[in-house]
Amino acid sequence: MGGNYEQHDVEVLLQEGALVINDGYRAKNSELSDTGIPFARAGNIDGGFHFEDADRVPTHTLAKVGLKRSLPGDVVFTSKGTVGRFAFVREETPEFVYSPQLCYWRSGDVSRIHPRWLFYWMNGREFLLQFKSVAGQTDMADYVSLRDQRAMKITLPPLPEQKAIAAVLGALDDKIELNRRMNATLEAMAQALFQSWFIDFDPVRRNADRDRNQPSPQPAGHPSPPGRRDGDEGLVEYDKLFPDSFQESELGPMPKSWEVCKFKDITSKIGSGATPRGGSEVYVDEGTALIRSQNVYDHEFHWEGLARLTDKSAVELKSVEVRRNDVLINITGDSILRTCVVDPSVLPARVNQHVAIIRAIEGIPPRYLHLYLAQQSMKSILIGMSAGATRHAITKGHLESIDVVKPSAPVLAAFETITTPWFDQIDANRTQSRTLATLRDTLLPKLLSGELCVDTFHPESQRK
C-alpha cells in the first residue's frame, strides 16, 4: 500500500458515521406490483442496473421500506446467492428498493470517504479477499452477512488520493456509460422504425391520406397511437416503397402485396446448440467462444461469463458454429426467448444446447428477424406453444411454424440500409467499451495499492 494509506476497522467507521452499511427490504409478494419503483434483486445488478423485468414497489407502501432505498453514491453489493457483483448508483440512476440479496455501502462523511473511490475499493483485492473468506461458510448458497461485512477492514488513502483515483477510473467508466446510453438510443431508433413500418404500418396510412386527402381509417387490430409518426421526417421519403391500402390476411389487416409466410421460409438455419463432451476439461482460458444463455439478453450480447473451448471441442461442435449476423435466442430456462444478434467480435463461436441459431436467407435483414422475435406478442405466441410442459422449452419446430409478415423486397432493403449504420455504431461502441473496461481493470489494482502513482494521470493541482 502507499505510504500514507491507513487501515481502519469498518465497525469503527460505522460508529463514527463515516460509513453506512445496510441490507435490503424483505418484501412480501403481496407488497410487490407492476407499478412503482424497482425492487432490485441480484439478477438486476450486473455492472449496472437492468430493471426492465423487475418487480415494483408501489409508492404508497414505500414508508415501510425505510432506509432500504437507493441514494446517489451508493455502492451496491450482491451479498447472497450470486455474490460479488457491484454497481454504482449515479445521479441519473432511477431510485429503487434493495432486496435482501443486496447490501449497500454508503459514505456517511464525504470528507473522509469518497463515494466513487469506495466503489473501486470494493472492486479491488482487499475487499475481494475478505468477502471470499466468509462467503462459503454455510452449506447453503454463498452469503456474506451484515455482521461479516461490519467485521472487515478498509485501507483509506488520503482524500485527495481517493479523488484522483476515482477521477482516473471514473473517466473510463463514464465513457463506457456514455457508450451504453448512445447504444440504447440507437437501439430505440431501430425499434421505433420497426414498429412504425412493420406493426403500425404508418407509411401505408400516410399514402392513403395523400390519395384520399382525408384522415386514414384505422385498420382493425392495428390501432395507431395518436400522432404517431416515424419521428424523423426524412424517413417519409421512403413512403413511396409502400402500398396505399390494406388487405386481409391470417394475421389481420396487412399492407397490400405483402405476404404471410412461415418462419422457416425466410431462414436458412434454425437449430439449437450442443453440450461439449469431456466435462470441465474442454474449457480453457483462451479458445473458441461457447455462447450460453447468460450471454444472450434482449437486444444485447453480454460477454460476462463467456466460456472458451479447446480446439478439439470446437471442431466437434462445428455444426453449431455461429456466423456474423446470426440471431441468437434462448430456448429453455428462466431467460427463455431473450434474443439478440451475435456480437461479431466474439467470433469464432459455438452455442450450447440452451441457445438456438437463426440465420436469415438472402434478402431478409437479420435485424428484421431479431426484432420480429423480440416483440412481446411473438414471445407470448411461442410460450403458448410450449404450454403444458413442466418447464418451458421452445423447439425448432415451434420456431419454424410461426406465421410472419414478409414485406416487399424494396421495403426490407430500405430498412437494412437505414439501420445498418446504427447497428455498426452499436458494435463499435461495445468494442470500445470492452477495451476501456480492460484498461480500467488493469489500472484498478495498481492505483489502489499505490504501485502506480496517480500523479501520472492527475497532477497534484488537479486533486485539490
Which pLDDT score is estimated for 50?
A: 83
Q: Which three cell numbers stand for residue 427?
A: 458494435
**pLDDT exceeds cutoff 90 at 425:** yes
Short-list 350, 349, 326, 336, CA closest to 274:
350
Residue 325 pLDDT class (50, 70, 90 cuts): very high
Distance from C-alpha of 57 to C-alpha of 173, rounded to nearest angstrom = 29
Distance from C-alpha of 283 to C-alpha of 446, rounded to nearest angstrom = 29
Short-list 129, 128, 134, CA closest to 146:
134
Short-list 235, 245, 253, 237, CA closest to 207:
245
In degrees, rounded to 5, the angle at the alpha carbon of residue 22 between the alpha carbons of residues 21 and 23 is 140
**pLDDT exceeds cutoff 60 at 220:** no
Q: Average pLDDT over the chain, rounded to whole?
A: 89
Cα–Cα distance list, 61 to 27, 37, 64, 375 (Å): 10, 11, 6, 32
**pLDDT exceeds cutoff 80 at 120:** yes
**By mean pLDDT, which of 96-100, 136-140, 186-190, 339-343 is the weakest?**
136-140
Tell me the pLDDT tens digit for each residue of 397-422: 999 999 999 999 999 999 999 999 99
Residue 4 pLDDT class (50, 70, 90 cuts): confident
**pLDDT exceeds cutoff 60 at 216:** no
- The mean pLDDT of 200-204, rounded to a whole number, is 95
Which pLDDT score is estimated for 52?
A: 79
371 Cβ contact partners less than 8 Å away, ≥ 6 residues apart: 190, 191, 194, 198
Task: Kindly state the percentage of the chain with pLDDT values over 90.
Answer: 72
Cα–Cα distance list, 74 to 15, 52, 103, 112, 158 (Å): 18, 21, 10, 15, 20
Residue 390 pLDDT class (50, 70, 90 cuts): low
- The mean pLDDT of 374-382, rounded to a whole number, is 91
166: Cα separation from own chain's centroid? 25
User: Helix, strand, coil proportions of the chain in percent (round to 5)?
Assistant: 45, 20, 35
Which pLDDT score is estimated for 277?
A: 87
In degrees, rounded to 5, the angle at the alpha carbon of residue 37 between the alpha carbons of residues 33 and 41 is 80
Contact (CB, 8 A) for 222 and 199: yes
**pLDDT exceeds cutoff 80 at 424:** yes
- The mean pLDDT of 275-303, rounded to a whole number, is 89
- The mean pLDDT of 33-47, rounded to a whole number, is 89
37 Cβ contact partners less than 8 Å away, ≥ 6 residues apart: 56, 57, 59, 62, 69, 94, 95, 96, 97
Task: Kindly state the percentage of the chain with pLDDT values over 70.
Answer: 91
Tell me the pLDDT tens digit for each residue of 9-25: 999 999 999 999 999 99
Which pLDDT score is estimated for 389?
A: 59
Contact (CB, 8 A) for 308 and 280: no
**By mean pLDDT, which of 76-80, 98-102, 195-199, 234-238 is the weakest?**
234-238
Helix (H) or strand (E) holding 300: strand 300-301
Q: Which three cell numbers stand for residue 224?
A: 395507431
DSSP states along 246-259: EE--TTSSEETT-E
* Residue, of 70 and 140, whose pLDDT is higher: 70
Residue 138 pLDDT class (50, 70, 90 cuts): low
Distance from C-alpha of 29 to C-alpha of 55, rounded to nearest angstrom = 10
**pLDDT exceeds cutoff 70 at 271:** yes
Residue 127 pLDDT class (50, 70, 90 cuts): very high
Strands 254-255 and 321-322: unpaired
- The mean pLDDT of 30-39, rounded to a whole number, is 92
- CA torsion sign for 292, 298, 299, 300 is negative
Q: Which three cell numbers stand for residue 40?
A: 432490485
* Residue, of 153 and 214, whose pLDDT is higher: 153
Which pLDDT score is estimated for 235?
A: 67
Contact (CB, 8 A) for 34 and 19: no
Contact (CB, 8 A) for 335 and 314: no
Distance from C-alpha of 395 to C-alpha of 272, rounded to nearest angstrom = 8
> What's the pTM?
0.83
**pLDDT exceeds cutoff 50 at 109:** yes
